[in-house]
Amino acid sequence: MHKKAHLPEKTCPVCNRPFAWRKKWAKDWDSVRYCSERCRRSKGLAV
């Protein structure tokens, strides 16, 4: 049985891809908006 199948997901507003919860985001999952550093840096370029 895979435990990671039930992790919460969000959709990145820049690349529109779903991304799953990661341990490094455990303290501030509610404020995580972007899937990667690359998407966070290019947030102003999103259409």
Give the separation between CA 34 and CA 39, rounded to whole angstroms.
6
28 CB burial (10 A radius; 0-12, 13-18, 19+) = exposed
- How many CB atoms neighbour CB 1 within 10 A? 4
- 33 contacts 42 by C-beta, under 8 angstroms: no
pLDDT tens digits, 1-47: 667 778 999 999 999 999 999 999 999 999 999 999 999 999 877 55
pLDDT for res 40? 94
This prediction has a pTM of: 0.73
